[in-house]
Structure 1
Amino acid sequence: MSTIDPGKIFSDVIAAANAAVSGDITKMGGYAEAKLRAMAKQASMIGTYYASKLIDDSDLPHFLDGLEDMATSFLRTLVGLIRIQIEKAWNAIVGVLWGAIEAATGGVLQLAKPGA
């Protein structure tokens, strides 16, 4: 039986969590930036077209509803992506913790692996 080094477990947990989500965080940031830029451009177009009378009061709700739908869809997608990241980090962290416990008990204590 080995002893558990809390400092090493802490370092391993941080490393595992970072490894589990690092590449995806960059992709999520790129996705978010692209969508936010598109919404800003859409809002600018609506404002410009309305000010120049290319769209009028009867058309405006349609365009604003579309912009609202874009924002709602973006946020729902972002929430889903964040949930996935949290689950990946949780699995990585628990995997390290369970591994440390199993190593300390010489494998006597078998814990269900996260995500299994």
Structure 2
Amino acid sequence: MTITPINVPDLINQIKTQATAILGQNIETAQGFSQEQLAAMAQQAETIAGGIASGEIRPSLQQFFLDQLKQSAQNFVRVLVGLSLVTAEQLWNGVVGTLWGALSGATGLHFTPPAWGQ
């Protein structure tokens, strides 16, 4: 096995490159999802407000429509939290994978990176 000494500036750049790629990809996903969901919730709020103001949505049904809007907002936030957790795990795997790979290469031993949450 070939032993490769750790070059600190190169290792830093590898970690930065990997983290930037992960964040960039997940930010694009979140932005697309967010725009669509925010537009839908804003439209839903506008429709509810118009229906209440015009009397089309009777007081007995107002809570139903408000609960639906609340559920939409909760689901939106839950998806973003989930995406954030996935992103954090991907960053972890990228960072420790790069570091443990450098350690393995510099020592000639095989080090298994720790898993997320260990």
TM-score range, shorter chain: 0.7 to 0.9
Q: SS in structure 2 opposite 1:4?
A: coil
What fraction of aligned residue pairs are identical, expressed as a percent?
A: 35
Match of 1:69?
71
Once the two structures are superposed, residues 21-55 of structure 1 have per-residue CA deviations (whole angstroms, 9 ceiling, x without a partner) of 43232122101110011001101111111111111
Note the residue ranges of structure 1 that are not aligned, 5 or more in a row: none
Q: Show CA shifts across 1:41-72 (max 9, x none).
A: 10111111111111122111000000000011
Find the counterpart in structure 2 of residue 39 from structure 1: 41
Contact 1:39 1:71 (C-alpha < 8 Å) held by counterparts: yes
Aligned-partner Cα distance in 1 for 2:18–2:97: 9
Q: TM-score, normalised on structure 1?
A: 0.86
- The AA in structure 2 aligned to 1:102 is S
Query: Does structure 2 retain, via aligned residues, the 8 Å contact 1:98–1:111?
Result: yes
The residue type paired with residue 34 of structure 2 is A
CA RMSD of aligned residues (A): 1.7
- What CA distance in whole angstroms lies between the structure 2 residues aligned with 1:87 and 1:103? 24
Alignment of 1:17-28 (within 5 A): 17-28=19-30
Aligned residues of 1:21 and 1:88 also touching (Cα < 8 A): no
